[in-house]
Amino acid sequence: MSEPTTKLRIAVVGAGHLGQHHARIAATSPHAASVVVVEPAEERGREIAAKHGAEWAPNLASVLGRIDVVQIAAPTGFHLALGQEALQAGKHVLIEKPLAAGLAEGEALLQALAKARAAHPRLVAAVGHLERFNPAVVALRAANFKPRFVEAIRVSPFPMRSLEVDVVMDVMIHDLDLLLALVGRPVTDVEAFGVPVLTPHPDLVNARLKFEGGAFATVTASRVAQKKERTLRAFGDKAYAKLDFAAQKLELLRLVLGPNGPEVAPEVVDIEEGEPLKLEIEAFHAACRGQGDDVVTWAEGLEAMRVADLVQKAVARSLEELGAGR
Ligand SMILES: NC(=O)c1ccc[n+]([C@@H]2O[C@H](COP(=O)([O-])OP(=O)(O)OC[C@H]3O[C@@H](n4cnc5c(N)ncnc54)[C@H](O)[C@@H]3O)[C@@H](O)[C@H]2O)c1
């Protein structure tokens, strides 16, 4: 394992749609000593490695002896095996979201982490919930705003990829993780509806969540929309927040005492724009170097998956009921 202030030798595993950005960001990091792109598809692996002045390797096993950090951006079905392999070798690991392909696999990763930490207590294990690093989200969390009701919408045109995972695990999980972080309480009740549109699985899902302590949320995720929209509106104690993830904008209104009595006034929020994935990877590298612990933990990644699983089950129940009524 690397010592706190040393530069990191980084392996980016998977050079597809997202992995190429991991490679770009790792290769331009001032804290990287070297970057190797691990990609079984040789042509793609060599192309992405060459583009960023990195080395290419066909598998993780062949590079484990000469790296400190593993960033896994392979398809979700490979997360468990690759994560276990990295942990057994005592490497810091960032796994893309969702943490694993199912709850049992997510739990197996946490068990592997506990075992690895017995030998390497400072091992960092993070999951790639990049919206937590969106500057507008960071500003909202810093604004002392406890939501009581949230409406989250995350819709986009049909992607033609990531179709092995449904829209709940692939798309809605971003907002489920954020809601858990914003509300800070567990989910106690889930109701959800979904419809298959272009695939045999639900492509559009709406879920209503109830949290311990009385907060509520309605969350919509779709991969069959005409236009992209990623927004969140939240109502708290005498406060309202409207967040646009893509524009990195946050509007915050609060009930304050003005010169003529109570009035609803906008609060100035300072937001310095930044690429969420880059900010997430920088925070992960800092943690690996012993500087900070600003990462989304695997336990949090698994909790988001648990709620996603409840949503999937509620959708399945509603579809069965609809089928029975036809
Ligand atoms: N954080 C986000 O917002 C976000 C966005 C997109 C994707 N993702 C996640 O990133 C992961 C990858 O998604 P993608 O869209 O980039 O997929 P992709 O299919 O575009 O790319 C995956 C790449 O991994 C390679 N690969 C396959 N098996 C491998 C193995 N055993 N070792 C190394 N590489 C292997 C494939 O050849 C491919 O090049 C998924 O878990 C997905 O959920 C996260």
193-232 pLDDT, tens digit each = 999 888 888 999 999 999 999 999 999 999 999 999 999 9
pTM comes to 0.95
DSSP-derived 3-state class of residue 219: strand
What distance in Å separates the CA atoms of residue 94 and residue 99, rounded to the nearest whole number? 9
Name the helix (H) or strand (E) containing 296.
none
Domain assignment present for residue 207? The answer is: yes
204 and 56 share one domain: no
User: Which position has the token pair 């002896």?
Assistant: 65
| Closest ligand 1 atom to Cα of 44 | 39
Measured in whole angstroms, the distance separating CA 161 from the mean position of its chain's CA atoms is 17
Give the domain range for residue 230: 131-275+307-325
175 and 79 share one domain: no
Q: Decide: 97 in ligand 1 pocket, CB within 6 A.
A: yes
| Closest ligand 1 atom to Cα of 81 | 31
DSSP-derived 3-state class of residue 195: strand
pLDDT digits (tens, 9 = 90+) for 233-279: 999 999 999 999 999 999 999 998 888 888 888 888 889 999 999 99
Strands 92-96 and 69-72: parallel
Domain assignment present for residue 95? The answer is: yes
What pLDDT does residue 321 have? 85
91 and 49 share one domain: yes
What distance in Å separates the CA atoms of residue 80 and residue 60, rounded to the nearest whole number? 13
**What is the identity of the amino acid at 294?**
D
51 and 145 share one domain: no
pLDDT surpasses 80 at 306: yes
Q: Decide: 50 in ligand 1 pocket, CB within 6 A.
A: no
Specify the CATH number for the domain of residue 321.
Answer: 3.30.360.10
Specify the CATH number for the domain of residue 103.
Answer: 3.40.50.720
Domain assignment present for residue 172? The answer is: yes
pLDDT digits (tens, 9 = 90+) for 49-62: 999 999 999 999 99
What distance in Å separates the CA atoms of residue 12 and residue 255, rounded to the nearest whole number? 47
Q: Cα-flanking dihedrals φ and ψ of residue 120, to 5°?
A: -130, 85
Domain assignment present for residue 297? The answer is: no
Answer for the pair 209, 187: CB distance below 8 angstroms, yes or no: yes
253 and 313 share one domain: yes
Domain assignment present for residue 281? The answer is: no
**Which residues, 6 or more positions from 256, have their beta carbon under 8 angstroms from its beta carbon?**
262, 263, 264, 265
Q: Decide: 129 in ligand 1 pocket, CB within 6 A.
A: no
102 and 153 share one domain: no
Domain assignment present for residue 288? The answer is: no
What pLDDT does residue 258 have? 87
pLDDT surpasses 50 at 325: no
Domain assignment present for residue 285? The answer is: no
Cα(73) to ligand 1 centroid in Å equals 4
Cα(159) to ligand 1 centroid in Å equals 14
pLDDT surpasses 80 at 63: yes
179 and 32 share one domain: no
Cα(186) to ligand 1 centroid in Å equals 29
pLDDT surpasses 90 at 324: no
DSSP-derived 3-state class of residue 172: helix
Residue 86, class by beta-carbon neighbours within 10 Å (0-12 exposed, 13-18 middle, 19+ buried)? buried
Q: Which of 162, 160, 280, 51 is nearest to 39 (CA)?
A: 51
Mean pLDDT of the chain: 94
**What is the identity of the amino acid at 54?**
A
135 and 192 share one domain: yes
What pLDDT does residue 198 have? 87
Cα(160) to ligand 1 centroid in Å equals 14
Q: Which of 280, 307, 254, 317 is nearest to 22 (CA)?
A: 280
pLDDT surpasses 90 at 23: yes
The encoded tokens of residue 3 equal 């010592």
Cα(66) to ligand 1 centroid in Å equals 23
**Which residues, 6 or more positions from 27, have their beta carbon under 8 angstroms from its beta carbon?**
35, 52, 53, 54
Q: Decide: 311 in ligand 1 pocket, CB within 6 A.
A: no
164 and 312 share one domain: yes
Answer for the pair 188, 213: CB distance below 8 angstroms, yes or no: no
pLDDT surpasses 50 at 18: yes
What percentage of the chain exceeds 70 in pLDDT?
96
Strands 69-72 and 8-13: parallel
Measured in whole angstroms, the distance separating CA 302 from the mean position of its chain's CA atoms is 11
Count of domains forming the chain: 2
What pLDDT does residue 265 have? 87
Q: Point out the domain boundary residue: 123, 150, 165.
A: 123
Q: Point out the domain boundary residue: 123, 155, 184.
A: 123
Residue 315, class by beta-carbon neighbours within 10 Å (0-12 exposed, 13-18 middle, 19+ buried)? buried
Q: Cα-flanking dihedrals φ and ψ of residue 190, to 5°?
A: -135, 135
Domain assignment present for residue 284? The answer is: no
43 and 116 share one domain: yes
pLDDT surpasses 70 at 5: no
pLDDT digits (tens, 9 = 90+) for 133-189: 999 999 999 998 889 999 999 999 988 766 667 899 999 999 999 999 999 999 999
118 and 163 share one domain: no
Q: Decide: 301 in ligand 1 pocket, CB within 6 A.
A: no
120: left (phi over 0), alpha (psi -120 to 50) or beta: beta
Protein residue closest via CA to atom 31 of ligand 1 = 78
95 and 147 share one domain: no
Q: Point out the domain boundary residue: 100, 123, 146.
A: 123
Is there a cis peptide before residue 98, judged by omega within 30 degrees of 0? yes
